[in-house]
Amino acid sequence: MPDPGGAGRGRAHDGVAATSTGAGAIPGEAATGPADEAAAAAAPPPCALVIFGASGDLTRRKLVPALYALACDGLLPAGFAVVGTGRSEMSDAAFRETMRDAVTRFARVRFDAAAWERFAAALHYVAMEYAASGLARLSERLEAVDRAHGTGGNRIYYFATPPSAFVPLAELLGEAGMSQEEGGALRRLVVEKPFGRNLATARELNTALHHAFEEPQIYRIDHYLGKETVQNVMVFRFANGIFEPIWNRQYIDHVQITVAETLGVEGRGAYYEEAGALRDIIQNHVMQLAAIVGMEPPGNFEAETVRDEKVKLLRAIRPIHPDDALRHTVRGQYAAGEIDGEPVPGYREEPGVEPESLRETYVAMKLDIDNWRWAGTPFYLRTGKRLPSRATEIAIQFRRVPHSPFSGHRATPGGALPPGGIEPNLLLVRIQPDEGISLRFGAKVPGQSMRIRSVDMDFRYGSSFARQSPDAYERLLLDAMLGDATLFAREDEVEEAWRVCTAILDGWRAHPPDRAHTPNYPAGAWGPEAADAFIRRDGREWRRP
């Protein structure tokens, strides 16, 4: 986890430059760049990263560009290699050329020919069937890589494959003895989401993976947790004495977590028909954000301590009975409409989607948390495709003042704004885009009369730090090499999130949406009208990012 001293200080309004204190730095001295970070960071042990599914989109767009950025920042170990695998026939040279194009297009750092040549020398590819014979071929190549690159027999296996391959691959690695940590060699497994389709299948997947790997060897990756702003929520709470004392039901009226996308399913219609918005976004990304916002302060920032507190929060979520699912949620599907003035098709017109599909592309839901900190303070979660803007944010709305001498009106229950009243304070964490944190408060408008207007005090990563934030996969890949599981989901975290979502799925299955009213929002709208009515019945309104 980030050192609390690394939180940084926002740029002052008088033009004083912002400073940040990194691990091991003298307080008040600015960190100067990647070289200082590389010097301060713990060095990962030598290892070979084995990517199953290396010919796929994830490897091209995210994994290899992230590894190249780590290499440019001097954060990879001296003994390091990548061994990509896939069913497609490809030579090392062809794999390197494909990855060169990917790095040029998608890497955070600018392409440098000399740096690329050094990095590319450690890229290898093995064409193989996912069977015992293919694994023997892979094992031979890994032994050669150990000799050539000094990777010391250490392996990190990355499953960048469809979920259907997770269990067979894990079983193969276990049967071949390639998952066992013997003689001090490390063996780790990084698994992409989805982690099952419901609680039962998540448990089955965990059990199957445990036949080959122990739980401490398994790193379930959720790229949202690698984002700088998400990590900064914990630093913001636990490294600043003014916020944690008011981070509770006494001062906070409610929490809204929004993941809004302007995009549609983008050629993933067949996948989305199986998944839907609840499985795709809520069960993993949004539930993890809720856990981080709501968790109790950990005793330290060791991985298990932090994850214990997240699990406690998830366990405190009040169970939603399937019969009550429709009272706690709203689902929607987008129709044809306009995004940024351009016409876009409806979900049912997307390739791979059934013409009469009832699959949800929008979800809004309310969670009640039954613990001392949050009792009576609801968490509202929502996600949707083809919404007016792309935004991921956490909005903490504080309670209204109990009596305002300026407006002549008392605050009304539930947070509704009375005529002439003052807007409540709002803490906004913007995860993407325009990463930063804003605090909204009331200020007097200049003039003779007592007029009050809400103003924002902003911290922005782009202006406060003279460097670009690393990509989420850069942080998470480096943590997997270091053996730091803080930002990865543990099995009980996954199962607790599925406990909540499975009950909703069961309720939806028992009460399918009305075909006559599906789809129920046009592309370019902020979801179905029922979602607005859903939150208004509590006297609240959705934010419009």
Query: Per-residue pLDDT tens for 407-435?
Result: 543 444 444 444 446 788 999 999 988 88
411 compared with 366, residue with greater pLDDT? 366
Question: Can you spell out the DSSP letters for 483-505?
Answer: T--TTSB-HHHHHHHHHHHHHHH
- List the catalytic residue out of 285, 409, 511, 517: 285
- pLDDT at 4 (0 to 100): 38
Average pLDDT over residues 489-504: 96
Q: Give the percent of the chain with pLDDT over 90.
A: 71
> 250-277: per-residue pLDDT in tens?
999 999 999 999 999 988 899 999 999 9
CA 142 to chain centre: 32
Write the CB contacts of 484 (distance below 8 Å, at least 6 apart in sequence): 1, 303
Is residue 285 part of the annotated active site? The answer reads: yes
- pLDDT at 25 (0 to 100): 31
- pLDDT at 361 (0 to 100): 97
Average pLDDT over residues 171-195: 92
- pLDDT at 29 (0 to 100): 36
Q: Which amino acid is at 493?
A: E
State how far the alpha carbon of 374 is from the alpha carbons of 265, 308, 391, 439, 440, in Å: 35, 18, 25, 21, 22
| Predicted confidence (pLDDT) at residue 9 exceeds the cutoff of 70 | no
* 403 confidence band (pLDDT: 50, 70, 90): confident
> 87-119: per-residue pLDDT in tens?
889 999 999 999 999 999 999 999 999 999 999
| Predicted confidence (pLDDT) at residue 380 exceeds the cutoff of 90 | yes
Q: Which residues partner with 398 through β-bridges?
A: 252
* 446 confidence band (pLDDT: 50, 70, 90): confident
| Predicted confidence (pLDDT) at residue 387 exceeds the cutoff of 70 | yes
Q: How many CB atoms lie within 10 A of CB 200?
A: 11
92 compared with 400, residue with greater pLDDT? 92
Query: Are 415 and 402 within 8 A, CB to CB?
Result: no
- pLDDT at 22 (0 to 100): 34
Identity of the highest mean pLDDT range in 8-22, 27-41, 202-216:
202-216
- pLDDT at 83 (0 to 100): 97
| Predicted confidence (pLDDT) at residue 14 exceeds the cutoff of 60 | no
Query: Are 149 and 182 within 8 A, CB to CB?
Result: no
Beta-strand runs (E) in 223-375: 252-260, 329-332, 334-335, 337-339, 342-344, 362-367
Q: How far apart are CA 251 and CA 183, in angstroms?
A: 54
Give pTM, 2 decimals.
Answer: 0.87
Average pLDDT over residues 497-518: 94
Q: Which amino acid is at 160?
A: A
State how far the alpha carbon of 430 is from the alpha carbons of 122, 310, 442, 460, 528, in Å: 37, 21, 20, 9, 24
Q: Give the percent of the chain with pLDDT over 70.
A: 89
Average pLDDT over residues 382-396: 96
By mean pLDDT, which of 119-133, 432-446, 509-523 is the weakest? 432-446
- pLDDT at 37 (0 to 100): 55
Q: Which domains, ranges and CATH numbers included, belong to the chain?
A: 4-224 (3.40.50.720), 227-412+490-536 (3.30.360.10)
| Predicted confidence (pLDDT) at residue 509 exceeds the cutoff of 60 | yes
Average pLDDT over residues 7-19: 33
- pLDDT at 67 (0 to 100): 97
Q: Which amino acid is at 407?
A: S
| Predicted confidence (pLDDT) at residue 36 exceeds the cutoff of 80 | no
Query: Are 138 and 170 within 8 A, CB to CB?
Result: no
DSSP structure class, residue 181? -
| Predicted confidence (pLDDT) at residue 323 exceeds the cutoff of 80 | yes
| Predicted confidence (pLDDT) at residue 212 exceeds the cutoff of 80 | yes
* 444 confidence band (pLDDT: 50, 70, 90): confident
